[in-house]
Structure 1
């Protein structure tokens, strides 16, 4: 059975399991803080309403058995505690069965949230966390020899993630093929970060270099992951560097952080040992039943990979698609098309309607608003409302199920909804009316930045939602 164990991957497994524990911690914390306002019983898209037309087979979730806001919070707190235990190393002290149970509970809890999270949880990094989290169940604690098949399944996940992202770009927007996409991307990405202005101001030649490096990594270097060490480690190191670059140039929740951690799991253990002062146990056991479970997992993943592989090879490739309700093996990809112009929704309120009404803006935590406010860093935390506002600016259809309800919550000064925001013009008081305007945003030039101190320049385009009062939305609940 020695072939099924890979002691040399011990350090890579350690780094990966601690990294995914941190991502779980962030994910459950975000669900705890944002869940009540987004999907709670009185949320923008309430889970009870969703459960009324979604059966167990379509969306397996513990919440089919019972739903209440308190039960949801309990599940989130359980996830926080268990992920903290894994992060500080307590999970590594457990017997193999205890390890499996801890990680299986984490996966089941987060799957339950994602499967009832509706549009707020429709992002590729949700399924990435679930797929990686399920594989973690079978990696074993520190005193168990890392399973060869389990570590190779991490490589297979990283390969599909990177290669799928590369293919969707080459099949999608022409600017990826003529190497000009990154002349727009840093400015028009969903949520720029503090350095995005500087990246946008790189020369056109450097933007082409950025794009070409992305293609080489995702379409060429990625095949090194399927080769033995040290080639696989070199390929993974390239991906770690590129993911680090993406981390410092944008806010993509935990997508880049988790991809980076996957890359670290593939590095040669000797390289990691040279920089991490952690002693490996002298004796590494490997129970026969656990090895058998790992083999069974590999068979299941192989069978479930048929759909994602067909999708990869298809000219009609789909991004971020799950092929089974448990989200065990998925397809990935991002930015098959890149927007050239940035538009933003600006939500305003007034304390009195009339010809002399004074309208003031709501400030969101992450998305652009005040042109003098530097884009903040939020990743790997995920601001779901801010992201969806970006999508609504692209197409109002993205807000069909919730935008009017959101405006009603603002009219009612609903405390849970206001906590999703950075500030409200009326504070905790109810405004007389709210409206939504559409602006075109662009980064300022270097000269404009020096002269005005602004990071953005914006131009009014049109009114997206005319002024609404509480009388216009009598069916919207919430408030003080």
Structure 2
């Protein structure tokens, strides 16, 4: 079947696969380095307790069969090693079936992690990585030309990511329609980056242009992905540029990078180099790809209906394998930034003059003189959940108590998630949490004080607490 493959996309496939493997690498490293404190046997939300109450059919995972911290570490580090080898191009030097099995192993390993990760893994980019990673299994390697059907399915994913985000904005916060959301967004986004302060202080007319350009990028360009080349490739290129703009203005784990990866798959490689001679695909491969395409088209009904629903939902998975999902971001934008500041004291008896010392997190704002750091595509899960906790204590109900308990116990795995532990020799006697309002300083305030933030006490978040 001559229509089945298109050699012109060989370069786009090569770049896509290497870049996707790099995203997988960061995802597995994040899991390996953080899981013990978050979901380990002694973690805040332990996997063993989760699998006892949630059956395999609702959360398919290798860890439903058996769990131990050692096994989880083995899976996470194995995923990182396999990903690193794919970045180096190892899959192009083995038979087609073996390469497909390699990509399938990555997908199974990460699915197993996400499905027991609970709140810590409840982000849209987890499902996006799994959906993209599943399609990558069937994209082939240098033993065959890229299959057209899988390339179209990748564009369908990118369409839903961008178009879904655009629609949720127009249907959501009125500031998107008034073009004023970026007056607040750079200050109130979950985890600002080192340049976010400067983006916030751009002239307001430029913010209006940014929002208008965002609407065009998310509501017009995704449609052009399904047009002939070079229009589709040009639309993908503009999407890449807008995602890079988001990369330098904030920390959104691998969301922006994965969107860039998807856009690269729509670029016609013949514009840059002549395609090499590639073997015709074997019949079994064609049958598998057609069957998978039929499955994905069938599963796309609910996500497609969601796009055009007045009650559009963001970041929802419709099946436990995360094969076809709904996406979206920032349907509403906060006008005020609140931060939960966690403090401890080693004084046994509390009194009005008790000295409290702050725990410092790696990514979220704390010390007003410390400029935010760039961490994405690495994902600081605790820092992100602390942002949700500041929005409402209900978001923190399952894990914040166990987090405080581990601080009082001096748990080493939990303390490794933090930038600064003010009690390096012995755990504190009491821990408390207070809610502050944070805002960016002005240029004049920055020059006078050296502070990037100004904060004001709002209320108590957690009263002083100690271990019984």
Q: Check whether TM > 0.5.
A: yes
Q: Which residue does the alignment assign to 2:48?
A: 48
Q: How does 1:142-181 map to 2 (within 5 A)?
A: 142-181=142-181
Distance 2:65 2:136 in 1: 26
State the SS of the aligned residue for 2:434.
Answer: strand
TM-superposed CA distance for 1:282, in Å, is 2.6
Q: Which residue does the alignment assign to 1:359?
A: 356
**Does the Cα contact within 8 Å between 1:23 and 1:258 map onto a contact in 2?**
yes
State the SS of the aligned residue for 1:248.
Answer: helix
**Does the Cα contact within 8 Å between 1:413 and 1:428 map onto a contact in 2?**
no
Q: Which residue does the alignment assign to 2:259?
A: 259
Distance 1:283 1:29 in 2: 34
Distance 2:67 2:438 in 1: 41
**Does the Cα contact within 8 Å between 1:415 and 1:428 map onto a contact in 2?**
no
Q: Which residue does the alignment assign to 1:128?
A: 128
Tell me if 1:425 matches 2:410: no
TM-superposed CA distance for 1:283, in Å, is 3.2
State the SS of the aligned residue for 1:52.
Answer: helix
Question: Compared with structure 1, are the counterparts of its residues 428 and 103 closer, same or farther at alpha carbon in structure 2 (3 Å cutoff)?
Answer: farther
TM-superposed CA distance for 1:265, in Å, is 1.2
Q: Can you give the 5+ residue segments of structure 1 that lack an aligned partner in the other structure? A: 274-278, 472-480
Across the aligned residues of Structure 1 and Structure 2, the Cα RMSD in angstroms comes to: 1.0
Q: Which residue does the alignment assign to 2:373?
A: 376
**Does the Cα contact within 8 Å between 1:184 and 1:339 map onto a contact in 2?**
yes
Which stretches of structure 1, 4 residues or more, deviate above 4 A after TM superposition? none
Q: Which residue does the alignment assign to 2:395?
A: 398
Distance 2:272 2:455 in 1: 47
Q: Which residue does the alignment assign to 2:460?
A: 463
**Does the Cα contact within 8 Å between 1:20 and 1:258 map onto a contact in 2?**
yes
Count of paired positions: 466
1:40-96 Cα distance to aligned partner (Å, 9 max, x none): 010000011111110111111111111011110111011011111111011111111
Distance 1:200 1:288 in 2: 55
Bigger Cα displacement from structure 2, 349-358 vs 34-43:
349-358
Distance 2:395 2:207 in 1: 30
State the SS of the aligned residue for 2:106.
Answer: helix
TM-superposed CA distance for 1:222, in Å, is 1.3
TM-superposed CA distance for 1:305, in Å, is 0.1
Q: How does the TM-score come out when normalised to structure 1? A: 0.96
TM-superposed CA distance for 1:294, in Å, is 0.9
Q: Can you give the 5+ residue segments of structure 2 that lack an aligned partner in the other structure? A: none
Tell me if 1:314 matches 2:309: yes
**Does the Cα contact within 8 Å between 2:170 and 2:177 map onto a contact in 1?**
yes
**Does the Cα contact within 8 Å between 1:12 and 1:272 map onto a contact in 2?**
no
Q: Which residue does the alignment assign to 2:67?
A: 67
Q: Which residue does the alignment assign to 1:183?
A: 183
Distance 1:469 1:268 in 2: 61
TM-superposed CA distance for 1:2, in Å, is 1.1
TM-superposed CA distance for 1:280, in Å, is 5.1
**Does the Cα contact within 8 Å between 1:44 and 1:405 map onto a contact in 2?**
yes
Question: Compared with structure 1, are the counterparts of its residues 272 and 257 closer, same or farther at alpha carbon in structure 2 (3 Å cutoff)?
Answer: farther
**Does the Cα contact within 8 Å between 2:8 and 2:275 map onto a contact in 1?**
no
**Does the Cα contact within 8 Å between 2:155 and 2:266 map onto a contact in 1?**
yes
Distance 1:342 1:297 in 2: 45
- Equivalent position to 2:434, from 437, 443, 461: 437
State the SS of the aligned residue for 1:59.
Answer: coil
Q: Which residue does the alignment assign to 1:341?
A: 336
Distance 2:394 2:407 in 1: 20
